[in-house]
């Protein structure tokens, strides 16, 4: 099955980059979940929690974002936010 390659990018650095099975992000209209094969989308984020389910079987991790946007294009997910703070690795 196809996988997502995910980049979490903050203003001054790249926070995380890797392969994932699922990403969910807080868009202004509600939480959006992204699975492999998702249609290309550009969504504006509100402050909230981005959740990434990595494909190596480890527990999903969550980060807090302060608004930004997420773009999905050909299984390439880019979460761009002003600030990204990790919330610990528990799911």
Partner 1 sequence: MAGGSQRVYRQRIKSTQSLKKMFRAQELIAASRIGKARARVAAATPFAQAITRAVSAVALHAHTDHPLTEPRHDTNRVAVLVIASDRGMAGAYSAAIIRETERLLERLDREGKEPDLFVAGRRAVSYYRYRGRSLEGQWAYGSDNPTPEVANEIADALLGRFEAPAAEGGVAELHVVYTQFVNMVTQRPRVVRMLPLEVVEGVNEHDDVEPLYDFEPSAEVVLDTLLPRYVRSRLFSFLLEAAASELASRQRAMHTATDNAEDLIRTYTRLANQARQADITQEISEIVSGADALAASH
What is the distance between the alpha carbons of residues 47 and 57, in angstroms, rounded to a whole number?
27
- For residues 79 and 65, the answer to whether their CB atoms sit within 8 Å is yes
Q: How far is the CB of 3 from partner 1 (least distance, A)?
A: 18
Classified as helix, coil or strand, 26 is strand
Q: How far is the CB of 54 from partner 1 (least distance, A)?
A: 19
Closer to partner 1 by Cβ: residue 2 or 88:
2
The burial class, CB within 10 Å (0-12 / 13-18 / 19+), for 75 is: middle
CB of 5 to partner 1, least distance (A): 13
Contact residues toward partner 1 (CB under 8 A) are 7, 9-14, 27-29, 32, 39-44, 67-69, 71, 73-74, 78, 80, 82
For residue 3, what is the DSSP state? Answer: -
Please, which residue, 57 or 80, has the CB nearer to partner 1? Answer: 80
């Amino acid at each position: 099955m196809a996988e997502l390659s995910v980049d979490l990018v903050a203003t001054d650095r790249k926070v995380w980059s890797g392969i994932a099975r699922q990403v969910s992000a807080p868009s202004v209209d509600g939480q959006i979940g992204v699975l492999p094969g998702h249609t290309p989308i550009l969504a504006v984020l509100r402050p909230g929690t981005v959740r990434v389910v990595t494909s190596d079987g480890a527990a999903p991790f969550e980060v807090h974002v302060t608004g930004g946007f997420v773009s999905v294009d050909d299984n390439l997910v880019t979460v761009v936010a002003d600030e990204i703070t990790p919330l610990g690795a528990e799911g």
